[in-house]
Structure 1
């Protein structure tokens, strides 16, 4: 409430009947009086401004609408005729503008009616509501006026554009009128042209008739000429065909003549070569005959001289014997004493203990060379094998037992500078044997139970058996051998390992996991502590007992393969007579069906290789190989059904009636990876190649460059799949190889391969402690038992395995 003065409160009482609420009280928002003239003036001014201003603005806009409506009659009929849509839009604008002009009348009447109604009516209306309602209707005319102003401006803009369009349409009508005149003129010209064209067609028909007659006459003349030319052409074609036939006959005759000449040339060349060979042979025979005649004459003379000398010597001996008998009556006693001394020495030698160092005992239920249910024993012993009694095999099965005398033989021809050698014994046993023991025929003999194995049975066409590895660290040699044998068809490569660098052993183990190789521990022989006073028998076995290892491999894997390659890992055979080894071996077998196997000659070869596995390239290693003329003893491939025992170079015991076949060098030979040059950088081989007398056949005569690249790609793929980490860890240094090479040159090669002591690595002085050189060595726990008083047997207790040494390799690692 707002009160200006108490003197005018009576006004509230006067206004109460009209303005009071339901409770009879007047809630005034303001009370005005004569004292507040400025307020009346302001209120009157505001009312005048609102009424006159807003509604004046609305009236002004109505005048603009009226002006727009007047302009409508000046548009003309063009728009309504050509574009009816434009006329419809104009009518819609007109109706909208009329509605906009009428709206202010309602907006003015409504608030006026509301004021009169609120004053005269007894209804109580809230002053706030009436005030807001009045103001709202007061400002509506302003919005209405603005809307009309906007619509009128749009109407003007639209009308201006419509007038421009009307002007353009008028111009277009003028153009159409001109076009109609021009079209009429052109029609007249077209009629004239058609008339002239009709005349031209008439003249054309006349000319065509004349030309056609002339052309037909000329065509008939040409046809006559053509017929004559065709006759001539037929004659020419006949002549040409005859000429071609004669030419073909001449060419055939020429070809036959060339072929005959070539054949004659080849025959003459062959005859000349045969004649030269015959002349050489005749010359050689004549020389040999001359030399033989001279030799025979010399021998006859020497024989005659020798005969005379012998006669003289006999006469002298007789005279001397007579004089000795007469002068020395005790000579007979001396001779008899020497005889008895020899007998006593032989008897004493029989009392020396004979040792059997078992390598393996293999059971064959069915075999291609042994009788059914055979047991084959491979062992080392003194070269003089003469036990007092024969060996006896005792076998037991679930329902049967059997005793059989063993047939003991040398596994190969002994080397007489070595006092120990391998033996093989074969005996019959029970079927499905469960227990095996060995004794002799001595009454006090004790049967010793011996573990045995069954022959390997998984089938492969070809298997390779390699010599035992010792102190091995040359992986650069191993990888080409591994991959060439693997990719050309060797199903299983058997490595006998005595000692090897651990990184190489781990690399080989990945190949074993892939089923490519088999790793066999190869331990030295141990006779036990009670025989320590004896000379070490391992020093008396030729070349670390290679023959024993090869024969053991043959015995274990013979029933699984048709052919077995017996060699060192540095002997590489590349098949030339077939795509794979089995193809070549079967081809040779067809040529020599009675062969027990095949011997390949070997030629030393120079190789260049990087030290690091990261720089190693199989392609560069093979492509830069140099095959020399230096020949080495051959290596063998044996038919397992014909051979019992093998040695490094050829088999020892073969089936009766069979023989080994030497493969001609013209057909194939082995590459001996004997000489190596290790390079820090692969490109150094250009500057480091050695001068040597080269063989007439080099590496590309055995294998193409494309095949070499395929071998390397396959090797990379295999190594990345199975042995990537192990390959990267392969050693880059060599510790033992130079020492062993110097030792072998000293004890063997410098003596023209005729050593005066048993050759082998135990003759070499090699360090047993080298820091940080990791080595893997074969280990076996041994048992030692006496069969009889002078016969002791030594065999493994359980399977052999490998042991890791952190600081260097060693040869002997057995546990007694």
Structure 2
């Protein structure tokens, strides 16, 4: 071949690398320009799953795990509260998740898992939205009908203050500061850290909880009411068709935060106390109860309702008097759970409705699976101190009570009680806490109204027990701190318009029960 012909063929050679780049850009543009109705996935969902009306979903949190023992690599776990009326079955509904990093955009289909009272009638339910996405996630979006909704990305905790975390259900119009004092010191003595969700607190209780938080004694987190700032269609007040103050979503959020950091996570109310009567610490008791089994989904503790007395004076706080005056009234219908976080991804208030009966394969050769199920703890129980009478001078107890589940073991030893009491007084002598303690409320105002309201509501498939229906009287002398935030609404989308909040804070302007 002559040099001249070689020069001609070289001049005719096409710039294939540039052409391929242009084609890739055009294909991407065409894909994202397609209407939702042209997407086969969207067509399938509209034909099979969607009802005629659109509805709303509130996103509480979206966590990204670079690696997770149970969720896998580059996992995304989103906690949402969603209406069940927009789709036939939320557990079968599929959602597009778009993950983007500096070089890649990836679309995946997320799975949905609902957590709600199986015997209740609330329309709104807690939902875990879960998928796996790109490495080094920089942007997270929900996609529907050609529109995208961007979510703030949160990082789960890498370390836990203690190996056992107790997630405390959202406090609402709360004023029983004695419960915080006792729960904190009992949990501390036996090796657990409290993560407390706060919706509303009376001012002095809030100041005490905030001081505990600032000193890293507990963790408090604002728990926001479900609100929609912009909607095109009329909608029912979500908090009237949402169970209580949404504890299932709070518990699920807490579980996901500590999923890779804690050894055990328990779900309690602030009025609950758990003593590890079968061991020296919570960790030891929980390990012993799990017995190395791979198919135990959770430890399920019975709840025993107690009547007792509490002192209105901070100086008279004593764990021995607190439990020594107790009288077991009844056993609650439902219990409390403690879990290994690797085996739980979401939960209802009392247990997960998703985990039990989940197949477990211990080896590749195993043909018949085991099935996950919760284990009922027979020798211990959670004690619920909701029925407390406030007195100025409480009767001093010299003999500690027995474990209600066993007649031959004390609830706690005299040495343990002395250690807890000494620690209580040490805490109350901290100057900043001592200053707050002088102004703590000596009487309850909201608590009796709330108890009557909730206990008086009907329950069952046609009813939704909630706090929004509780009409609490105003009290000009009682200032409350209410959690609030900047609320955002996304594009109107089918079947769900998504809403979320950022920059949470506590305000005096909303009262105690909005």
TM-score clears 0.5: yes
The 1:554–1:647 alpha-carbon spacing in structure 2 relative to 1, beyond 3 Å, is same
Matches of 1:562 and 1:544 in 2, distance apart?
27
2:141 maps to what in 1? 437
Query: Relative to 1, partners in 2 of residues 1:755 and 1:401: Cα closer, same or farther, differing over 3 Å?
Result: closer
2:275 to 574, 585, 595: 574
1:799 match: 503
Aligned to 1:503: 204
Measure how far apart 1:351 and its partner are. 2.8
Does structure 2 retain, via aligned residues, the 8 Å contact 1:464–1:564?
Answer: yes
CA shift in 2, pair 1:395/1:589, >3 Å: same
Where in structure 2 are there 5+ consecutive unaligned residues? Answer: 1-46, 361-370
Query: Offset of 1:640 from its aligned partner?
Result: 0.6
CA–CA distance in structure 1, aligned partners of residues 397 and 389 of structure 2: 8
1:711 matched to 2:411? The reply is no
Cα distance, 1:416 vs structure 2: 4.7
Match of 1:701 in 2: 410
1:809 maps to 512
Is the CA contact 2:113–2:354 (under 8 Å) kept in the aligned structure 1?
no
Equivalent residue number for residue 264 of structure 2: 563
Q: C-alpha deviations, 1:476-522, integer Å up to 9, x for none?
A: 222211111111100x2111111011111111112212222111111
Cα 1:458–1:664 change in 2 (3 A) is: closer
Give the corresponding residue for 2:166. Answer: 464
Q: Does the 8 Å CA contact 2:259/2:341 hold for their aligned counterparts?
A: yes
What's the CA shift for 1:615? 3.7
SS of residue in 1 equivalent to 2:285: helix
1:659 pairs with 2:365: no
Distance verdict in 2 for CA 1:436–1:593, change over 3 Å: closer
User: Aligned match of 1:758 in 458, 464, 467?
Assistant: 464
Aligned pairs, how many?
447
**Conservation of the 8 A alpha-carbon contact between 2:119 and 2:461:** no
Cα separation, partners in 2 of 1:397 and 1:530, compared to 1, 3 Å: closer
Q: Is the 8 A contact 1:435 1:449 kept in 2?
A: yes
TM-score, structure 2 as length reference: 0.80
Secondary structure, aligned partner of 1:436: strand
Q: Which structure 2 residues correspond to residues 318-717 of structure 1 after superposition, within 5 A?
A: 350-386=51-87, 390-412=94-116, 414-440=118-144, 442=145, 445-459=146-160, 460-490=162-192, 492-530=193-231, 533-590=234-291, 592-628=293-329, 630-654=331-355, 656-657=359-360, 658-665=371-378, 667-683=379-395, 697=406, 701-717=410-426
**Distance (whole Å) between structure 1 residues aligned to residue 278 and residue 397 of structure 2:** 31
Q: 1:453 to 1:368 in 2, by over 3 A?
A: same
Question: Within 5 A, what are the aligned runs for 1:140-155?
Answer: none
Sort the Cα spacing of 1:413 and 1:618 in 2 relative to 1 into closer, same or farther, 3 A.
closer
Residues 209-266 of structure 1, C-alpha deviations (whole Å, 9 max, x = no match): xxxxxxxxxxxxxxxxxxxxxxxxxxxxxxxxxxxxxxxxxxxxxxxxxxxxxxxxxx
Q: Tell me if the contact between 1:603 and 1:632 (Cα under 8 Å) persists in the aligned partners.
A: no
The CA distance in 2 between the partners of 1:699 and 1:608, in whole Å, is 25
Greater relative contact order (Cα 8 A, min sep 6): structure 1 or 2?
2
Shift, 1:593, TM fit: 4.1
Q: Residues 719, 627 of structure 1: CA spacing in aligned structure 2 closer, same or farther, 3 A cutoff?
A: same
- The structure-2 alpha-carbon separation of the partners of 1:670 and 1:679, relative to structure 1 and needing over 3 Å to count, comes to same
Change (3 A) 1:634 1:360: same
Candidates 425, 437, 443, aligned match of 1:733 = 443
Structure index of larger Rg = 1
Secondary structure at 1:366 match in 2:
strand
Which structure is higher in helix share? 1
Alignment pair present for 1:783 and 2:485 = no
TM-score normalised according to structure 1 size: 0.52
Pick closer, same or farther for the CA change 1:809–1:413 going to 2, 3 Å. Answer: closer
Whole-Å separation in 1 of the counterparts to 2:385 and 2:157: 30
1:598-657 residue CA offsets vs partner (Å, 9 max, x unmatched): 001121112111223244333322222223454542111011111111122112333533
8 Å CA contact retained: 2:183, 2:270: yes
SS of residue matched to 1:507: helix
CA contact 2:120–2:461 (8 Å) conserved in 1: no
| 3-state DSSP of counterpart to 1:403 | strand
Q: How far has the Cα of 1:590 moved from its partner?
A: 2.1
3-state SS in 2 of match to 1:598: strand
Distance in 2 between residues matched to 1:685 and 1:532, nearest whole Å: 60
Aligned equivalents of 2:353, 2:52: Cα separation in 1: 30
- Consecutive unaligned residues of structure 1, counting only runs of 5 or more, are 1-345, 687-693, 812-816
Indicate how the Cα distance of structure 1 residues 405 and 592 shifts in structure 2: closer, same or farther if over 3 A, else same. Answer: closer
Aligned to 1:220: none
* Structure 1 partner of 2:28: none
Give how far 1:788 is off. Answer: 3.3
Cα offset for 1:681?
2.4
**Retained in 1: the 8 A contact 2:98–2:105?**
yes
Which structure carries more strand by proportion? 2
Q: Distance in 1 between matches of 2:189 and 2:279?
A: 13
Kept in 2, the 8 Å contact 1:395–1:402? The answer is: yes
Q: Is the 8 A contact 1:605 1:628 kept in 2?
A: yes
Query: Following the alignment from structure 1 to structure 2, what is the Cα–Cα distance between the partners of residues 636 and 598?
Result: 5
Partner of 1:179: none
CA distance in 2, matches of 1:634, 1:395: 39
Task: Give the C-alpha shift of residue 761 in structure 1.
Answer: 0.9
Q: Which residue does the alignment assign to 1:339?
A: none
